[in-house]
Amino acid sequence: MSEQAMRTNAANARATRGKPGFVDGWRDASTEARRHLRIVPRNPELLAFSLFQPIMFVLLFVYVFGGAIEVPGFSDYNQFLIPGIFAQTLVFGSSFTAVGLAEDLSKGLVDRLRSLPIARSAVLIGRTFSDLARNLLTFVVMLVVAFLIGFRFEGSLLGALGGTALMMAFSYSFSWIQAYIGLSVGSVEAANAASFTWMFPVTFLSSAFVDPASMPSWLQPIANHNPFTRLANASRALYNGMDPAPHLAWAIFWTVLITIVFATLSIRRFSRST
């Protein structure tokens, strides 16, 4: 063995092992996640998006619509509205998965990562997990603001935790849709538009802000079957101490289905060597 090769192997713990295994994969995913989390405080745009926009959303919706809308079954519209705002804002947060991936692609960072001896899935898992962590921060900020303007959990602690976990998991599944978009569109600008636009109809044609019964009759079936409606209904029920069935099961179903389908598509697209 040449001196060069010996030095190579001595310094390189991975040199002779084959395919990265499960443990290696998680270690690589956490290295990748740490990269994204480390740069959050250094990225003013991302920070504003993660912290100030949620505050603005909560305050705008509550003070603009709060007095004007009445929903059957809720004496206080804010108790109806605020879980919807939480859900929408967290789902919007997934768009940064698309934009960040498109940015890494255009800068050549994705090629660098693909030329390293790490599991291909680690890069995407690391990114989606870091976005989940960032979303958790967004949630805490929103919750504080909501409490300050009078929102309360009316149900059990378990209900509050469950509703929150459901929203986090659902928005995580959307991160995989966004990963697929980020890998497909080809530029950061396109990712910006493609990641955001479709989420407006998805979140507004739902029960997040109003009772779908108040919508035109042709729109009602769409709103009622929208996966986002299931999420909004289930977490709202859990937050307010009401029965979340049957929406809870539907929301979990959609979360799992979207994650499986889009994680498979995204990882396949990322690994594709053409």
Partner 1 sequence: MHAVEARGLAKHYGDVKALNGLDVSVERGTVLGLLGPNGAGKTTAVRILTTLLAPDAGTATIDGVDVIAQPEIVRTRIGLTGQSAAVEERMTGRENLEMIGSFFHFDRTQRKSRAAELLERFDLVDAGDRIANTYSGGMRRRLDIAMSLVARPAVLFLDEPTTGLDPRSRIGMWSVIEELSDDGTTVVLTTQYLEEADQLADNVVVIDSGVKIAEGSVDELKDQIGGDRIRVTIARAENIEVARTALASLATGAIEVEGPTATTLTAPIRAGGGVVPQAIRALDDAGADVVDVEVRRPTLDDVFLALTGHRAETEESASDAEVTA
Q: What's the rounded Cα separation, in Å, for the pair 25 and 32?
A: 11
Q: Kindly tell me which of 27 and 269 has the beta carbon lying closer to partner 1.
A: 27
Contact by Cβ (8 Å): 33, 49: no
Q: What's the rounded Cα separation, in Å, for the pair 264 and 70?
A: 42
- Among positions 111-150, residues that touch partner 1 (CB under 8 A) are 111-118
- Residue 56's CB is within 10 A of a number of other CB atoms, namely 13
Beta strands in 101-228 (DSSP E): none
By CB atoms closer than 10 A (0-12, 13-18, 19+), residue 164 is buried
Q: Kindly tell me which of 43 and 224 has the beta carbon lying closer to partner 1.
A: 43
Q: Kindly tell me which of 20 and 54 has the beta carbon lying closer to partner 1.
A: 20
Sign of CA dihedral 81, 83, 89, 94: negative
Q: Among all chains, which residue has been given the structure tokens 């949620």?
A: 54
Contact by Cβ (8 Å): 155, 79: no
Q: Kindly tell me which of 113 and 179 has the beta carbon lying closer to partner 1.
A: 113
AA identity, residue 49: F
Q: Kindly tell me which of 114 and 268 has the beta carbon lying closer to partner 1.
A: 114
Contact by Cβ (8 Å): 23, 109: no
187 binds partner 1 (CB under 8 A): no
48 binds partner 1 (CB under 8 A): no
Select from 3-11, 193-201, 218-226, 230-238 the region that touches partner 1 (CB under 8 A).
Answer: 3-11
Select from 13-21, 55-63, 134-142, 169-177 the region that touches partner 1 (CB under 8 A).
Answer: 13-21
Q: How far is the CB of 27 from partner 1 (least distance, A)?
A: 7
5 binds partner 1 (CB under 8 A): yes
Among residues 52, 56, 63, 107, the one that binds partner 1 under rule CB under 8 A? 107
Size (the chain), residues: 274
13 binds partner 1 (CB under 8 A): yes
Among residues 35, 37, 66, 168, the one that binds partner 1 under rule CB under 8 A? 35
Which parts of this chain interact with partner 1 (CB under 8 A)?
2-5, 7-8, 11-20, 24, 27-28, 31, 35, 38-39, 42-43, 106-109, 111-118, 273-274
